[in-house]
Chain A
């Protein structure tokens, strides 16, 4: 039946949506225009919503200051992020498969223990982790940072993948067993391809969390050879009595680009992952 919609009724909702969008998008807009302004215009009063002259001056400064250390930060972040994603997936996929389809005595408790890491605010662990990392000589190393990220972000991935695997019918597993497949073969040939949306969701989650991390990287790194992009931007954007907003904004703009590209490439799977299991097929 055709239902007539009252378009006037929707006007307040539309206004509200636009207002919320403005609040969320304005900082990004401000970041973009600031990155393309000359330094004197950045702090001009009244503020200029649109730069009078668009320039790559800030980017040039960002990439050349301190012998191009920004590129070092970028590479560090790429290495740390990709290693964290690989390490977490390498552990989380088999663990989740076992928890979902190969129940063993105490598997529920193991799962709850994984989730319990979730429940502890990571801020509480900063000091003990600091002393632990120092003791085992992993303070200010990429590997130390990768281990910490993996520990904190693993539980969510196990939670997500375990549910994804558990949703797949047992008959599939049993059918493959009767076909003669080993458990590893079943995991790789059947369960992985059928759980791609959830795996992609995990990759996006891990990428965003690791790439954008500030606190952990700030706590556990002290040299430019190890620092990630977020800590790096802050470090050389901040001077003794002022901040170089040009460098900070151009650095931030470069830092958010990989996340946006990744999301655009993988969003199809991500949306599938978010809605998987919502409707019974």
Chain B
């Protein structure tokens, strides 16, 4: 298996568009790394540079310590699963899976045993003689994964492989790919724009925006300690609420006040917020860190009117308009609320994040 290292990687397209800027990622052997970000953030370009499908403008890519920048894709010992499966339409599933091995001139018996093994792992034995057009979306995706598995590559690359599947199938395939990673113990790099996929699958997540890495970390570290407002709102569903609020001092305490969302800063945050007295900060609270509480204290509360109620069964999502913003909250399904109700909620003060309004960086980020 393999360690992959991206050092100061830059990609500039003809015409001067910088798609990827100074990307540094260390991927350990057997690690499952997810590159996540919105469309156009450079995640797919980064993956394609690892694959060798895009030239690297600057920087160095190494696999197991060997520089790969100039190596042809076929010599990098990688396999890639594409978003649109990229199965060869005129070949049977068996031939699709065997194509790469035949080109590399493997013995016939070896090819047959590898195809059979991969088909067994993915439970597609009965599909081997079918053509891709006779397969469902999920089956095609399995074949695409199978085509990668038979090669036994050093590194697996996945480029948004689940985005063409329906929601239910996506969840199923997600767990299957995770299980496959555990079984194969292979280094995998996975690109997605879906933060749920990133959170559930990755050992390590790389959040990108505008071609620049925002933060690298484990799923929970990104969730609990986002480096900036972008990561905070990108990771988690529904997204973290961020509102601009004024910082003031009152009787020795520091108050952060949005109008309808007011808190007294806990003691450990006072020092950090002091320089912002008289200024605005971005205050962030996750929808799940709020409770409906009629006895909300003066120390921390969110007051507003319910605009939308979304009962999901296991929880209810409320859209509440406060003084200047809309805040999304996740509450118990038993909460007796309806549209138009005036409501007071209690935020979990310890979970509130503060971001500098200009740099959007977390004021209390501890690395």
Contact = CB atoms under 8 A, between A and B. Distances in A.
Interface of A: 169, 171-172, 174-181, 185, 190, 193-194
Contacts of A178: 51-53, 73-74, 78-80, 100
Contact of B74 (A169, A172, A180): A180
16 contacts: A169-B84, A169-B86, A171-B82, A174-B73, A174-B80, A175-B86, A175-B147, A176-B88, A177-B53, A178-B51, A178-B53, A178-B74, A179-B103, A181-B99, A181-B100, A190-B88
B316 interface: no
Interface residues of B, number: 21
A12 to B, nearest CB: 43
Contact of A180 (B53, B80, B90, B100): B100
Given A193-B90, A194-B89, A175 B82 contact: yes
Given A181-B99, A194-B89, 14 more contacts: A171-B83, A175-B82, A175-B88, A176-B88, A178-B51, A178-B100, A179-B100, A180-B100, A181-B74, A181-B100, A181-B103, A185-B103, A190-B88, A193-B90
B366 interface: no
A174 B47 CA distance: 13
Top 3 nearest A-B pairs (CB, nearest first) are A179-B100, A171-B86, A175-B86
Contacts of B86: 169, 171-172, 174-175
Interface of B: 51-53, 73-74, 78-80, 82-84, 86, 88-90, 99-100, 103-104, 147, 151
A180 B71 CA distance: 12
B88 to A, nearest CB: 6
B104 A180 contact: yes
Nearest to B74: A180
B25 to A, nearest CB: 20
Given A178-B51, A179-B99, A172 B88 contact: yes
B286 to A, nearest CB: 37
Contacts of B147: 175, 179
Contacts of A194: 89-90
Contacts of B99: 176, 179, 181
A175 B90 contact: no
A177 B74 contact: yes
Q: How would you classify the secondary structure of chain A's contact residues: helix, strand, loop or mixed?
A: helix
Contacts of A193: 90
Contact of B103 (A172, A174, A180): A180
Nearest to B88: A190
A129 B213 CA distance: 63
Nearest to B99: A179
Determine which residue in B52, B74, B78 has the highest number of CB atoms from chain A within 10 A of its CB, and name it: B74
A189 to B, nearest CB: 8
A174 B53 contact: yes
Given A172-B88, A190-B88, A193-B90, A177 B73 contact: yes
Contacts of A176: 88, 99
Given A178-B74, A178-B79, A171 B84 contact: yes
A184 to B, nearest CB: 12
Nearest to B153: A178
A276 to B, nearest CB: 13
Most buried by B among A175, A177, A181: A175
A108 to B, nearest CB: 13
Most buried by B among A177, A178, A190: A178
B47 to A, nearest CB: 12
A176 B53 CA distance: 11
Nearest to B100: A179
A49 to B, nearest CB: 50
- The residue in B83, B99, B147 that gathers the most chain A C-beta atoms within 10 A of its C-beta is B99
Nearest to A175: B86
A109 to B, nearest CB: 16
Contacts of A185: 103
Contacts of B88: 172, 175-176, 190
Contacts of A175: 80, 82, 86, 88, 147
A96 to B, nearest CB: 19
B82 A174 contact: yes
Nearest to A177: B73
Which of B78, B86, B89 has the most chain A CB within a 10 Å cutoff?
A: B86
A193 B52 CA distance: 26
A42 B51 CA distance: 74
Residue picked from B53, B104, B151, most chain A C-beta under 10 Å: B53
Contacts of B51: 174, 178
Contacts of A181: 74, 99-100, 103
Most buried by B among A177, A180, A181: A180
A265 to B, nearest CB: 20
Nearest to A281: B133
A57 to B, nearest CB: 51
A168 to B, nearest CB: 9
Contacts of B74: 177-181
A185 B73 CA distance: 15
A165 to B, nearest CB: 14
B131 to A, nearest CB: 12
B188 to A, nearest CB: 15
Nearest to A168: B89
Contacts of A190: 88
